[in-house]
Amino acid sequence: MVTLPPLTTDTIQQIIDDRLEDETLHQLVWHYLGYRYDETQKCWNLDQVDLAWAEKYPEPPKFIEERPPTVQLTRSIPKPYKALLKEKMGFKGYTVDQLIPRLTRRATMASWLLSYMAQHDLLEV
């Protein structure tokens, strides 16, 4: 397990700029989804994971490698927060040559984390 960066707009910018390692990004999203690895039991503890996630993904999904969990992540962003990446971060999207699954899935993860921040009053104004 890596040391997670703080959940700030600087971290979100690192995600968008592809400066945060994929594995660190996965662990960051897993953490805020509620997944915790129990070292003594050598398994994932799902006590804090929403039932919709826990039932479908008893082990945290690799969002960058797999499309279905990324779609679920997108759908779990409440409507009022769907445009935060553009509104708060000024993200205009990727250019056509950058439209590859890895980058677009990272953007989805960044958007979900911003949504989490907004819902938990962690978003700097």
Instruction: List the domains of the chain with CATH numbers.
Output: 9-117 (1.10.418.90)
Residue 36, helix vs strand vs coil: strand
Write out pLDDT tens, residues 49-107: 999 999 999 999 999 999 999 999 999 999 999 999 999 998 887 777 777 889 999 99
Give the C-alpha separation, 46 to 83, whole Å: 29
Give Cβ neighbours of residue 95 (< 8 Å, ≥ 6 apart): none
Whether the Cβ atoms of residue 109 and residue 15 lie closer than 8 Å to each other = yes
Q: What is the H or E stretch that residue 106 is in?
A: helix 101-119
Write out pLDDT tens, residues 7-50: 999 999 999 999 999 999 999 999 999 999 999 999 999 999 99
pTM score: 0.92
Structure-derived torsion over alpha carbons of residues 5, 21, 106, 77, reported in degrees to the nearest 10: -30
